[in-house]
Amino acid sequence: MSRSVSDRQAKVALGILSTVYAVNLLDRQILSMLLVPIQQDLGISDSALGFLTGTSFALFYATAGIPIARWADRGTRIHVIALGLTLWSAATAACGLARSFTQLAIARVLVGVGEAAGSPPAHSLISDYFPPERRARSIALYTMGASVGIGLGYALGGSLSERFGWRATFLIVGLPGLFLALVVRFMMKEPRRGEIEGRDDHGEQPAVREALARLWRIRSYRQIALATALYNLASYGFMMWVPTFLVRVHEMGRTESGAWLGLISASCGLAGAYAGGWLADYGVARDRRWSCWLPACAGVLATPFIFAFLLVDTGELALLCYVPISFLSASWSAPTYAVIQGLVSLRMRAMASAVLLFALNLIGLGLGPQFVGILNDLLDPRFGVEAIRYSLLAIGMGKAWGSIHSLLAARHLRKDLDQAVLAN
């Protein structure tokens, strides 16, 4: 049987998906560079800013992800991504029209619902575009788009907001996604499920309760989900509050801090994502547990640099310490997303990613920025502007904690992967 999608078409599709992911993270990250002017304009507390950056987005991103993933596992994944991109881009632009905290929070909720249609169907598509031995590197190339988006969010957020204001910044970054949605809809081709692995797709999709029960029974999947949530508790807390940390503690301007953070996040994130994918494919060929060992190593190695970043005396040294943090924080995603695609049946792949993202975003994005905001307000009477140092230090320990669960996942991984093959 001839392939439904050629290798060239698969590579083009991967490039488009990576661009979509860059826009996804740009629209999500841009808010972190606008916290100071939004706070000044709307007169809201750090706890309210934590709600905007985390809870308001994550609750709906996480909960909408599961029904959207069900749709992607049953229907045409390209259509799902195109519709989601249209919604979150329009909602990002609408943030610039908000005149109150409530209006801005509603717009962020819609951004979260739209972005829930991004990664789960994309992971499923990539698993059908490329064979298992190239899967981690392919997903790494996809996740490199996130580093580009985060870097652009820092750089554009700082410069555009100081030049045009925070409202115009949302409009400028939101509208281009509407044109990209047309590219996804008309330039990508849907592959046949399972053909790249020689697996038959019987079109059988378990009910939601049965799908969730199956995932829960996979011991390695449970530990991977918890580890990923803890890694991102630290990562999202940092992503959303590091610009404010540099402004408050080291008195850097938004344009300067945005430019440096953008450069570091983009370059080190790209390198870390690809290194994680390459090392995963290389290591897994020798022992499949490397899919869990690599994230564990990254979490442990990042911890001393988190201490250094937060406690050094100058902004220059802090930025230097942020380089390895960005590299290591980007390296876990490719081995993680690649391995969970092998733990489930063909019609559960988007669902497996969505449930993982549910845990990741509910705990990581939902609680990380919110906890930092609350701790800032609680510690402010004693530490003043220095309070953010200790808030970020507390949340940063999620990296080391997550490493423990990655190691626990490795204990069950080989048996769970073998059972998944036999079940199909």
What is the mean predicted confidence (pLDDT) over 325-347?
Answer: 89
Kindly report, residue by residue over 182-217, the tens digit of the pLDDT.
Answer: 999 999 999 888 787 766 666 567 788 898 899 999
Radius of gyration of the CA atoms of the chain, in A: 20
- Long-range contact list for 15-19, CB < 8 A, 24+ apart? 16/183, 16/184, 16/187, 16/188, 17/81, 17/122, 17/125, 17/126, 17/142, 17/145, 17/188, 18/141, 18/142, 18/144, 18/145, 19/145, 19/180
Report yes or no on 323 lying in a domain.
yes
Alpha-carbon distance of 302 to 399, in angstroms, equals 7
DSSP code per residue over 255-296: HHHHHHHHHHHHHHHHHHHHHHHHHHHHHHTT-TTHHHHHHH
Q: What is the pLDDT of residue 300?
A: 96
Q: What is the pLDDT of residue 397?
A: 94
Report yes or no on 199 lying in a domain.
no
Q: Calculate the dihedral angle through the C-alpha atoms of 150, 152, 153, 159, rounding to the nearest 10 degrees.
A: 150
Alpha-carbon distance of 237 to 305, in angstroms, equals 15
Domain count, the chain: 1
Tokens of 70: 């069900």
Report yes or no on 31 lying in a domain.
yes
Average of per-residue pLDDT values in the chain:
89
4 vs 307, higher pLDDT: 307
CATH number at residue 227: 1.20.1250.20
Report yes or no on 231 lying in a domain.
yes
Report yes or no on 277 lying in a domain.
yes
Kindly report, residue by residue over 5-54, the tens digit of the pLDDT.
Answer: 888 899 999 999 999 999 999 988 888 888 888 888 888 888 888 788 77
Domain that holds residue 131: 7-186+208-423
Query: Between 387-396 and 290-311, two packed helices, what is the crossing angle to 10 degrees?
Result: 170
Kindly report, residue by residue over 142-182, the tens digit of the pLDDT.
Answer: 989 888 988 888 888 888 888 898 999 999 999 999 999 99
Give residue for tokens 């989900």.
Answer: 225
Position 367, amino acid:
L
Report yes or no on 412 lying in a domain.
yes
Share of the chain above pLDDT 90, in %: 48
| pLDDT band of 1, cuts 50, 70, 90 | very low
Alpha-carbon distance of 302 to 322, in angstroms, equals 10
Report yes or no on 364 lying in a domain.
yes
Q: Calculate the dihedral angle through the C-alpha atoms of 377, 383, 385, 387, rounding to the nearest 10 degrees.
A: -60
Report yes or no on 84 lying in a domain.
yes
- The distance between the two most distant Cα atoms of the chain, rounded to a whole number of Å, is 70
